[in-house]
Amino acid sequence: MKRVLITGGAGFIGVHLADHLTQSGGYEVTVFDNESLGHRGNVDNDEVRFVSGDLRSRADLRSALEGQDAVVHLAADTRVMDSIDDPAHNFENNVIGTFNLLEECRDLGVDRIVAASTGGAIVGDVAPPVHERMAPQPTSPYGASKLMLEGYLSAYSGAYGMRGCALRFSNIYGPRSFHKGSVVAHFFKQILSGEPLVVYGDGSQARDFLYVGDLVEGIRVAIDGGSVGAFQLGSGKPTTVNELLELIRSATGRDFDVQYEDFRAGEVVQTWCEIDKARRAFGFDPTTSLDDGLGRTWEWFLAQGGGPSQ
Ligand SMILES: NC(=O)c1ccc[n+]([C@@H]2O[C@H](COP(=O)([O-])OP(=O)(O)OC[C@H]3O[C@@H](n4cnc5c(N)ncnc54)[C@H](O)[C@@H]3O)[C@@H](O)[C@H]2O)c1
């Protein structure tokens, strides 16, 4: 049995990962979360141990980390706009929090760390496809916090022999994302409440959408592999917002109004990523079509009605 601690394991991606690891077999999972954005009710308490704690407390981290073989570090304040309004909070939570985690791992000899980073927020507005060889130029404090995470993972791998792997996620969508502000979750909530869908620009902007089920399998194989460094995890394909709207129409069977407004200043127009490095290093292989993934996600949103049950 491999003992894996998931920080932020009560959040969107964490609950999927915890379920996926327990269902795959061979993993004993502990979730660590302060419930600022996620909720312990989302965690399957029969299969997974829940530890209430905060990254900013070394004592909390230490009690959760003792005896673990690997850590998947997902805990973060993930709200980009909030990080612009209050960079100090983001710094305390994401930067100091990550540093505390690495220090406790070093002290306790937990040497396998797989951490969530981000593609778009790290490299800024560059010509796609985004890849790992691009020089980072974050455009928000949130993006800067992920760059710090990558820097320290690399430093702790080089200086202390830890094996740190930073996975740069693209736009992740899927069930259990009701609390998220990402585009698919946002559109589905607007459809459920009968509001028009607002698109900034003409809908030609492109993003890379990865189904959460494909992502968590990618994280699982990354934990077991020994890869060190940064890796893009996405679908490897661009989808424009207009294409997404068409797929959403067919997945939901709903007719809805779309309101086109001016492009927002600073918004990246086209971004998608290359995933060859992760394919080569640990066999990352996303297989869920956007069509299927949206269908499964809509089913879940529909079952929630006016809001999530947990
Ligand atoms: N969802 C995406 O599309 C996406 C894209 C790129 C990167 N990421 C990264 O993936 C990770 C997981 O994202 P998510 O979508 O599941 O977000 P989420 O907000 O649903 O989950 C984050 C979890 O971390 C917890 N948390 C926050 N600060 C904490 C702290 N100080 N101590 C303990 N727990 C804390 C929250 O309560 C929450 O449960 C994050 O690091 C995020 O930056 C996500």
Asked if the structure places residue 48 within a domain, the reply is: yes
Summarize the confidence of residues 72-93 as an average pLDDT.
96
Per-residue confidence (pLDDT) for residue 119, from 0 to 100: 87
Asked if the structure places residue 71 within a domain, the reply is: yes
Asked if the structure places residue 90 within a domain, the reply is: yes
Report the C-alpha gap between 65 and 165 in whole angstroms: 18
The encoded tokens of residue 168 equal 């740069």
Asked if the structure places residue 103 within a domain, the reply is: yes
The encoded tokens of residue 69 equal 């073989």
Domain count, the chain: 1
Report the C-alpha gap between 229 and 149 in whole angstroms: 11
Q: Which residue puts its alpha carbon closest to atom 26 of ligand 1? A: 75
Rounded distance from Cα 76 to ligand 1 centre (Å): 5
Asked if the structure places residue 253 within a domain, the reply is: no
Looking at residue 147, which CATH number applies to its domain?
3.40.50.720
Which SS3 state, helix, strand or coil, does residue 4 take? strand
Taking alpha carbons only, the member of 226, 198, 127, 185 closest to residue 308 is 185
Whole-model pTM: value is: 0.97
Summarize the confidence of residues 18-45 as an average pLDDT.
96
Report the C-alpha gap between 17 and 70 in whole angstroms: 14
Rounded distance from Cα 253 to ligand 1 centre (Å): 31
pLDDT tens column, 77-87? 999 999 999 99
Give 177's contacts (C-beta < 8 A, 6+ positions apart).
Answer: 12, 184, 185, 212, 297
> How does DSSP classify residue 106?
H
Asked if the structure places residue 257 within a domain, the reply is: no
Instruction: Give the residues surrounding ligand 1 with Cβ less than 6 Å away.
Output: 8, 10-14, 33-38, 54-56, 74-78, 93, 97, 116, 118, 169, 171-172, 180, 182
Summarize the confidence of residues 114-138 as an average pLDDT.
92
Asked if the structure places residue 260 within a domain, the reply is: no
Summarize the confidence of residues 101-112 as an average pLDDT.
98
pLDDT tens column, 283-309? 999 999 999 999 999 999 999 976 664
Asked if the structure places residue 302 within a domain, the reply is: no
pLDDT band at 45 (very low <50, low <70, confident <90, very high): confident
Give catalytic residues, as residue numbers.
Answer: 142
Full domain range(s) for residue 94: 2-173+210-237+274-282
Report the C-alpha gap between 113 and 120 in whole angstroms: 22
